[in-house]
Amino acid sequence: MARAIAERLSATGTVNALELRGVTKRFGALLALDDVTLSVRPGERRAILGSNGAGKTTLLNCITGDFPASSGTIRFFGEDVTRFPAHERIRRGLRRTYQISLLFGGLSVLDNVYLACLGVSRGRFSLLRPRRDDALVESARALVHAVHLDEVAEKKVAELAHGQQRQLEVALALAGAPRFLLFDEPAAGLSPAERADLVAILQGLPAHMGYVIIEHDMDVALRVVESVTLMHEGRIFKEGTPEEIEADPEVQELYLGHGRG
């Protein structure tokens, strides 16, 4: 089945999970993204690096449709989603996490994940209450387990530690059947032990799930990706393998030299 889809897509020459062509985003006079062209294969795991203000999060927001791009086209598994609202892109298998956790603080961990599962299933408008053995509740429980939050499943999210909230962010992105994920600084503010946990979760994702990860911490970023895109002032500045990027003198001066990580 998966192979059949891949063959069909390759037949039309659009095998890429993500295909951005000339994506530009302006906020008034500010040019946040300047003619970004980028393609990511299905299953590919790529880091986007760059200093603050390089346009990394804006790029993610344009891909998911949080803001529309000013110009350019965005294709998701061959389909032109440039004019799609965010929820239509999500229903096609795109997922994301947020840099600053956008969670439902008054809800339990399990209910947060339940909402995420509900969002990409039928019955969003259902007036029937879920039963305890509801399929969505079951899949929510499985996800809570997958991000190692079983112990706090019934706790209100507002009472969770920062690291646990970040793990919950990841769980929300994994709901349903994601085909491609966007992680926006998932390791921000995590302790070394939590970072190791996060790396394990990312490495443990099924091989067909590609992702783009924005991450300042090189120890996390370069261990969980096979390719790197470097952004600078809204443009793509360099692309390569983690080794190439690390060895590049220009990169070291511009980015790694600032003593981050």
Partner 1 sequence: MAVARPGLPAATTAGETAGGIPPSAWITALVLVIMPALASDFFLVQVFGWALVLGTIALSLQFLAGYGGMVSLVQMTVAGFAGYMVAILGTSGLTQISLGWPFWLAVPVAILLAVLFGTLSGALAVRTAGIYTIMITLAIAAAFFYFTRQNETVFGGFLGFNGVRAPVFWGIDWRSPVPFYYLCLGWAAIAWGLVVWVVRAPFGLALQGIRDNPRRMAALGFDVTAHRIAAYAFAAFLAAPAGILLTWMNGQIAPGTVGIGPVIDILVIAVVGGLGRPIGPFIGALLYVLLRIFALDALVALGLSGQRFQLLIGLGFLVTVLFSPDGILGLWERARHRWSAPLNRGGR
x/- track of binding to partner 1 for residues 124-153 (CB under 8 A):
xxxxxxxxx----x--x-------------
Are 178 and 156 spatial neighbours (Cβ–Cβ below 8 Å)?
A: no
Q: Interaction with partner 1 in 9-68: which residues (CB under 8 A)?
A: 64-66
Taking the complex as a whole, how short is the minimal distance between the CB of residue 212 and partner 1, in angstroms? 15
Total residues contacting partner 1 by CB under 8 A comes to: 41
Identify which of 74, 61, 95, 73 has the alpha carbon closest to the alpha carbon of residue 178. 95
Residues 6 or more apart whose Cβ sits within 8 Å of residue 61: 67
Are 116 and 172 spatial neighbours (Cβ–Cβ below 8 Å)?
A: yes
Pick from 76, 98, 180, 255 the residue near partner 1 by CB under 8 A: 98
Start-to-end Cα distance in the chain: 42
| DSSP 8-state class, residue 129 | P
Please count the other Cβ atoms lying within 10 Å of the Cβ belonging to residue 80.
12
Taking the complex as a whole, how short is the minimal distance between the CB of residue 128 and partner 1, in angstroms? 6
Which stretch, 27-35, 171-179, 190-198, 216-224, contacts partner 1 (CB under 8 A)? 171-179
Residue 225 interacting with partner 1 (CB under 8 A): no
Are 33 and 47 spatial neighbours (Cβ–Cβ below 8 Å)?
A: no
Look at residue 30 and give its three-state secondary structure.
strand
Q: Measured from the CB atom, is 82 or 199 closer to partner 1? A: 82
Please count the other Cβ atoms lying within 10 Å of the Cβ belonging to residue 103.
19
Q: Measured from the CB atom, is 49 or 81 closer to partner 1? A: 81
x/- track of binding to partner 1 for residues 100-119 (CB under 8 A):
--xxxxxxx-xx--xxx-xx
Which stretch, 46-54, 81-89, 194-202, 211-219, contacts partner 1 (CB under 8 A)? 81-89
Give the integer Cα–Cα distance in Å for 159 and 149.
13
| DSSP 8-state class, residue 130 | P
Residue 99 interacting with partner 1 (CB under 8 A): no
Q: Interaction with partner 1 in 174-203: which residues (CB under 8 A)?
A: 175-176
Instruction: State the residues that interact with partner 1 by CB under 8 A.
Output: 64-66, 85-87, 90-91, 96, 98, 102-108, 110-111, 114-116, 118-120, 123-132, 137, 140, 154, 172, 175-176
